[in-house]
Amino acid sequence: MAIDLQQIGKRFRFYTHLNELEMNDLKAMTGSDEETLNNILNGCNILLDELVAIVKNFPDLNPQWLIYGEGSMFKPKGENGDCHDTPKNCLKKDKAAYLQQMKNMLIELDAAEVAKGHHADVDALMSKLNELKAKATE
């Protein structure tokens, strides 16, 4: 199976947006410089060693999903001892606007996945985002 750098970038960007991670957060968490992180987020000039080093800093992120788009975005609960309640219960942003932004990114990611001939767990994520958005607007 071929690795698509642009898809890796889109998936990592989706993950970071879902977790409300800004560039300064990513730099602090990974110890990587902004150029390296931008390369990964934009899906260009990614070195495997850099990607592996960065992924190690996100214990809930499923590397199989990040690289190949297979499986769930998150590792199964209990695999690393963490419980994933995403999006965060205490969002820094306006919840409805945030969820709409995530839905738009998910639509873009889904279209790219379908164009590649495989479909990730996008339907489940879309359903969860719609549910959260409905709750946020109540």
pTM for this structure?
0.62
Listing DSSP states for 91-131 in one string gives -SS-HHHHHHHHHHHHHHHHHHHHHTT---THHHHHHHHHH
110 vs 14 pLDDT, higher one? 14
Give the three-class secondary structure for 84: coil
CA end-to-end span of the chain = 44
Q: Which is higher by pLDDT, 106 or 46?
A: 46
- Tell which wins on pLDDT, 19 or 84: 19
From CA 54, how far away is CA 26, in angstroms rounded?
Answer: 9
Q: How confident is the model at residue 135 (pLDDT cuts 50, 70, 90)?
A: confident
If you compute the radius of gyration of the chain from its CA atoms, what whole number of angstroms results?
A: 15
Percentage of residues in the chain having pLDDT higher than 70:
72
Tokens describing residue 11: 């998936």
Name the more confident of 50 and 84: 50
Q: What is the pLDDT of residues 73-128, one digit of tens each?
A: 888 765 444 444 444 444 555 667 766 777 777 777 777 776 666 555 666 677 77
Phi-psi region of 94 (alpha: psi -120 to 50; beta: other; left: phi over 0): beta
